[in-house]
Structures are given as C-alpha cells and as structure tokens.
Amino acid sequence: MSFIGNVKRLLIGRPIHTKHAHNERLNVPFGLAVFASDALSSVAYATEEVLLVLVLAGSLAAYNTLTPIALVLSLLLVIVAFSYYQTIHAYPDNGGTYIVSTDNLGPLAGQFAGAALLVDYVLTVAVSISAGVQAVISINHGVQPYAVPIACAAVGFLCVMNLRGAKESGLVFAIPTFGFVILVAVLVGRAIFTGLQEPHTAPVLPAGDGLHSMGAFLILRGFTASCTALTGTEAIANGVKAFKSPEAKNASRALIMMVVMLGTMFIGISWAAWHAGIVPKHMSDPTYQTVLAQIAEQEFGRGWFYAAILIATAAILFLAANTAFADFPRLASFIGRDGYLPRQLSSLGDRLVYQNGIIVLAIVSILLIVKFNADPHKLIPLYALGVFVAFTLSQAGMAVHFLKKRKMTVYRHDRELAVGETLDEVAYQKRRRKLAIQMAISIVGAITTFVVACIIVVTKWEERVWIVVIAFALLMLIFRIVKGHYNSLAKSLSLSRADALPEMRSATLLLVPRLHRGILQAIKYAQVTADDCRALHVSLSHEQTAKVKDDWGHFGADMPLVILESPYRSLVSPLTDYIDEMQRVDKNLMVTVIVPQAVPKHWWQGLLHNNAAIQLKLALGSRRNVVVTNVRYFIES
C-alpha cells in the first residue's frame, strides 16, 4: 500500500464492505448524539443571546420578558417538532425538508429549501465551534489569542471522526452529549430548589443606550435571538435512514426525546438566569463568563461541578457541529443526485459516508471561522434565517402532501361507492378527519415559521443578515448553472437511431529521449497498438541526437525514427506542431502518444527523474483525438 494509503487507513480506518452497511446504523441514544447535539447544545448560548438584546433597554420590564420568551419559543419548538414527526412517518426513506419541498411544492421550492439548509449547516459548524472556544476561554482566559487555531483544529477533528463512519462518531459523541444533558439537569434542578426558597434577585442593568427602548421591536428582536435554540431540529427528519430498523419509529423516538430535553433545559436555564438576576458579560471583559457559567458559579461556587459543566459545555459545543457533519453531506448527496450540485457529492466513500461532502463542509466552515475571528456573537445573527426558511417550506410541503392524500381518499371512496362496494363509513370519516387535522397542523406551523422568518429578516437586517440572503441567491445560481451543464451534457451525448460508429484511423507516436533497456517494452507496446507507428526524438542537443540516431540504427527497431528540431529547447511545442500537421492531413486520425516513465524503488528517487508525461498531458489534454499514455519501467536498484 502507498504512503498516502497508509495515512488514510490510519486516520479513517479500513474500508467497510457495502453488505455491512446495516451495521453502521444508529440506535436511539447514538442517533441523539449524532443528530441532536446541535439542538441540545444551543441552550448553552441561546439564553445569553436573548439577554444581550434585552439589557440594551436598560429596564427591568425588558429583562423580565426573558422567561416568557423562553415559553413562547418552546411552544414554537413543539409545533415545528410535531410537523417533523409527521414528516418522518410520511417519508421514512430519508425525506427531510429538501425531498418534501421538491415532491409537494416543486423543484424550485426544493432548491430554495436545500440552499437554506446548506447555508445553515455551514453556520452551525462555525457558530458551534466558535461558541465552544468561548466556553474554553471562560475556563482559561489565557487561550483567547489562540481562538481561531483552536476552532480550526476542532473542525479538523470532527472532519476526521465523521470520515471514519457514523457508528464510530456516534460512540465518540454520546458521552459528552449525555454528560452535558445530565449536568444541566442537575444545575437547573438545584437552581429551582434554591430559587423556591429565595426571592428573585434584581439585576444590576447597564444604562440603556437610548436607541433600544422597551417596545415591541426590542421584544421581537429578543425572540429572534432565542430562535437559535431551534436550529438542528430538522436534523433527525433529514437522517431517518441512518437509524436502525424500524427507522421511522426509532427516528421519531429520538425526535421526541430531543424536544423534551431541549425545551426543558432552555426554559430552566432562562428561568434560573432571570431569578438570579444574571447579566451577560461582553467578550472584551477580562472576567468574561458565559451566562451558563455564571449560573453554575452562583449555585455551586468554583468547585468541581463548575469545572465539570464548563468542560461539558465546551465539549458539546465543539461536538454540536457534528449534526451538520451528519446532515450536510447527506443533503448535498440528494441535491447532487438530482443534478444541482456536482455528482461527486453523491458518492459513498470507503467508510460508507459521503466523504466529499464532509470535506467541503470542513473547508467552508474553516474559512468562515477565520473571516469572523471565531466570534459567535458576530455569527449568530446570521444563523437562524436559513433554518426557519427550511421549516416553512417543509411544513407547507407537508400541508400539500396531506391535502393530496385527503383528495385521493375522497376519490377512492366515491369510486367505490359508485360501483356499489360495501364501505366502512366510520373508518372513512375517521381517516378524513385525521388528514384534515394533520394538514391544519402543518398549515399553522408553516404560517408561524414564515412569520418568524420575516421577523428575523426585519430585526436582524442591520446585523448583516443580508449576507445570508445573498448566500441563498448565489447557491440558487450555482444550482442553475450545474443543472444546465448536466442537461446540456445529457442532450449532446444522448444516442439516436441515426448515430453510428465514426470512421477512424490510428497512429502511435513513441517519445524517445534516449535509447536504453527500460524503453524496450515501450517500443514493443507501440508496435502492437497501430500499423502507423513512429518513434519521435525532440532534438535539444546535437550530441544527444547523434547518439540516439546511432543507437537506433544499431538496435534496428522496425519503426521509423523522426527527429524534431527544437530551436527554443521546448519538448512540447515541436511535438504538438507535428501532431497538428498529422491531423490536418487526416481529419479522422486518432493519435496515441506513448511516453516511457521510470518508476524508482523509493519515492524520493522520483524527484531525480524528469517526467515528461505531465507536461504532455497538460498540453494535449484538451485536444480532440489525442491520447497520452505511459509505459512504465521499474528501477529496482
């Protein structure tokens, strides 16, 4: 195996046979770790983002809306989750937002949903990793200058772990995910227990800046900041086929568990922060702590629990990006399969994962982290729009899906009634009512999430959410260009009854820099490939050319030797000119250029040899009816 092959096997493991794909499926706990870590980890910063908005007013009235905002957000979470619960059972074969939107609303809606989710997944990695770095800074302020390198290294680690396969990544990520959930549950439980015994602490708020007085706009802006807690809710519905059989049942269980844990933790942390009068600190503050860290310090002091919850928070925030690494490649494979992205994204790698999508996500996320200096507060305003656009399209698509099923149910009933069949009217009416309720729930969800998306655009426009809108437009343009290329390619290459094999003659040109034992096999190969076979020597030195002529005549190979003069000492130009002249004389001529190539025993010895094939392939690669090939000879010592 080559050196690169050994490194690849060391990093991502041995290839997995296709017949063992079912062994790579995830059970419910591992599925939660892989697909729900993004949503569950958002409670570590969602409350802080809401408070950063509310304290701008400098008033207790604004601050006191924290818990109501958390309750409204949890209600929205239930609406969205119920819609995705229906999606899982309606599309058990990996439906998700893209498939649901495409099937029910048309390809354009599917593309827009796909673009929104792709952008959101990239932001998921950038935000989660950057937030994880800030949690590390809360533990040790001395690492703040190294925030970007730490973030990039974390993305690289996640990339390698996901290249190893879904099962291994689930095993690695399960412990930090459930460790974080347990520690937060203990923290919230302790805060509630002590809070019931102690009065509410009034916060010491900074003076308002005059531009953000208490009002509906400020409350709406605070609510949109809380919407980051809903990112990742769709991940389980997008990855149903990654679960063990029965896939839909296990995926829906994981979704319910995620919603219960996420809603409980978010409401609990928000209430604990409000009751304790926690005021968020800015990152420039040398004593910076996250809101979660402040709650933990107040409840347990700076002991072992404080250190444990900070470490668990940093770990799950780093690993929360794994949700995007699980879903981005899968979504990109669907879009690539439909011809809107390069089809290489649809190929499964050695470890039965979409490795090209994983690598693309890692590269783009690192660029975004570097651009925004690993600052989550700069990235979070860009974060929620994409996922709420996807929520809206998914739920609108499910409403249409249930409408179609209801119409089909009525049509079949009327047809059976017309031919006099015995019908179960009770079952028929029950099914109609069920479909009507499901459709109504999806419509309510679509309208709700559409309104939230509009609020996000309006309230966060000054925070550069327009960057996300431009990203949507660019991706839609890329989809159009890629699809147009594939359609044009299919049209130009499709066969018709009038097509026939073309007339073609062949000629072989053997490049002979000098005559030696290693070239003998190349000479014999050239002789058997075509009747018109010629040896070419490009003259770069008169002495060398004279020796080649003498050796060629002495060896007596049954092949003409053509000497090409090169006054400018170029190897490529005389050869390309010669080929052009051959094809000008015969338009149907296929020319094969054979280049002997030495293969040394050790890799470093290859640096000592001039590989002309590389130059020739670059020069001749775009020419019609020209093939460049190598005949290798091996140097053993």
Higher pLDDT, 601 or 400: 400
pLDDT digit string (tens) for 225-270?
777 777 777 778 777 777 887 888 888 888 899 889 988 998 999 8
Residue 3 has a pLDDT of 47
**3-class SS string, 172-228:** HHHHHHHHHHHHHHHHHHHHHHHHCCCCCCCCCCCCCCCCCCCCHHHHHHHHHHHHH
Residue 170 has a pLDDT of 55
Helical segments of 13-163, H only: 28-35, 37-41, 43-54, 60-63, 66-90, 96-105, 107-139, 147-163
| Statement: residue 445 has pLDDT above 50 | yes
> Which residues have C-beta within 8 Å of that of residue 293, sequence separation ≥ 6?
135, 138, 306, 309, 310, 313
Residue 386 has a pLDDT of 80
User: The sheet that has 532-539: what strands, in order across it?
Assistant: 561-565, 532-539, 505-511, 589-599, 626-634
Residue 293: name the closest of 285, 302, 284 by CA. 302
Residue 19 has a pLDDT of 42
Q: Which two tokens stand for residue 139?
A: 């533990």
Over residues 514-539, the mean pLDDT reads 86
Question: Distance (Å, rounded) from C-alpha 308 to C-alpha 303?
Answer: 9
Residue 350 has a pLDDT of 57
**pLDDT above 70: percentage of residues in the chain:** 88
How far, rounded to the nearest angstrom, does the alpha carbon of residue 594 sit from its chain's CA centroid?
Answer: 42
**pLDDT above 90: percentage of residues in the chain:** 4
Total residue count of the chain as it appears in this document? 637
Mean pLDDT across the chain = 80
Over residues 410-430, the mean pLDDT reads 74
**3-class SS string, 590-624:** EEEEEEEEEECCCHHHHHHCCCHHHHHHHHHCCCC
- Domains of the chain, by residue range, sit at 35-486, 505-634
Q: Which two tokens stand for residue 178?
A: 């459930």
Higher pLDDT, 543 or 382: 543
How far, rounded to the nearest angstrom, does the alpha carbon of residue 624 sit from its chain's CA centroid?
Answer: 37
Q: How far apart are the first and last CA of the chain?
A: 20
Which of the four pLDDT bands, split at 50, 70 and 90, describes residue 4? very low
Residue 474 has a pLDDT of 92
pLDDT digit string (tens) for 323-380?
788 788 888 888 888 888 888 887 765 555 678 888 899 999 899 888 888 877 777 7
- Reduce the DSSP state of residue 352 to 3 states and report it: coil
Higher pLDDT, 533 or 464: 533
Is residue 479 within 8 A of residue 115, CB to CB? The reply is: yes
- Reduce the DSSP state of residue 495 to 3 states and report it: coil
Over residues 119-133, the mean pLDDT reads 85
| 35-486 shares its CATH topology with 505-634 | no
Q: Which two tokens stand for residue 180?
A: 């974080």
pTM (whole model) above 0.75: no
Question: Distance (Å, rounded) from C-alpha 581 to C-alpha 139?
Answer: 73
DSSP 281: P
Over residues 512-519, the mean pLDDT reads 83
- With respect to CATH, is domain 505-634 assigned 3.90.1150.10? no
| Statement: residue 271 has pLDDT above 50 | yes
Other C-beta atoms closer than 10 Å to the C-beta of 403 total 17
> Which residues have C-beta within 8 Å of that of residue 477, sequence separation ≥ 6?
none
Say which range, 53-57, 132-136, 285-289, 471-475, has the weakest mean pLDDT: 285-289
Other C-beta atoms closer than 10 Å to the C-beta of 28 total 18
Residue 274 has a pLDDT of 86
In this structure, which amino acid lies at residue 6?
A: N
Residue 348 has a pLDDT of 67
- Reduce the DSSP state of residue 130 to 3 states and report it: helix
Looking at the domain 35-486, which fold is it? Amino acid/polyamine transporter I (1.20.1740)
Q: Are strands 589-599 and 561-565 parallel, antiparallel or unpaired?
A: unpaired
Question: Distance (Å, rounded) from C-alpha 337 to C-alpha 341?
Answer: 8
Residue 542 has a pLDDT of 83
| Statement: residue 98 has pLDDT above 80 | yes
Residue 1 has a pLDDT of 47
Higher pLDDT, 103 or 13: 103
Number of H helices, E strands in the chain: 24, 5
Say which range, 12-26, 257-271, 468-482, has the weakest mean pLDDT: 12-26
Residue 494 has a pLDDT of 81
Residue 17 has a pLDDT of 40
pLDDT digit string (tens) for 170-228?
566 678 888 888 999 999 898 888 877 777 776 767 665 555 555 677 778 777 777 77
Other C-beta atoms closer than 10 Å to the C-beta of 94 total 19
